[in-house]
Amino acid sequence: MPNLVEVAKTNELEPGEGKLVEIEGKEIALFNCDGNYYAIDNECTHAGGPLCEGDLEGHTVTCPWHGGEFDIKTGEVLGLPPEESVKSYNVEVEGDSIKIEV
């Protein structure tokens, strides 16, 4: 059964920013896109770059290592070199708490 885990407070992440969060030893990239929060696996499927450190433009994050692009809503690859998508996670906001479903 899915479990909601609190990972951050809304005031910890400005619009357009990403943040690394860890749940049960798994690294997840959390993003604030105009007040909406999204979460995907942090590791780029091309060479393991940290997606939480990538540039966010709209719903697209660009890996800082080789420029691969992913949709932060779905984890889908939008630009090469990665060919495999990353997992996306359901995010819920309750008050000022950001929770990810795992």
Q: How many CB atoms lie within 10 A of CB 33?
A: 19
pLDDT digits (tens, 9 = 90+) for 10-25: 999 999 999 999 999 9
pLDDT score of 57: 97
- Provide the whole-model pTM: 0.95
- What the block records as the tokens of 74 is 């779905």
pLDDT of residue 1 exceeding 90, the answer is no
Per the DSSP assignment, residues forming a β-bridge with 92 are 99
pLDDT digits (tens, 9 = 90+) for 33-68: 999 999 999 999 999 999 999 999 999 999 999 999
pLDDT score of 2: 76
Domain 4-101: top CATH class: mainly beta
Per the DSSP assignment, residues forming a β-bridge with 77 are 70
Mean pLDDT in residue range 63-87: 97
